[in-house]
Amino acid sequence: MAVPARKTSHARKSSRRSSVWKLNAPALIVCPNCGELKAAHRVCKNCGMYNGRQVIVKKDA
């Protein structure tokens, strides 16, 4: 089995792993019905509309 000849330095190891821990922010769009921000291709949590149709009926509390 192959064994590394030298220890991998902290800088080299960190630069290789630097992009692993980054998180991407979700792409948000404006709901055409109510104007709230929502994820693309998802039902709006505020008004329950998707693709011009009422999908979820919200109950008033």
* pLDDT classification of 61: cutoffs 50, 70, 90: low
Say how many residues make up the chain.
61
Annotated domain spans of the chain:
27-61
CA dihedral 41, 46, 52, 56 (to 10 degrees): 90
Q: Model-level pTM greater than 0.75?
A: no
Residue 21 is given by DSSP the state S
Cβ distance 30 to 36 under 8 Å? yes
pLDDT in tens, 9-39: 999 988 887 877 778 888 999 999 999 999 9
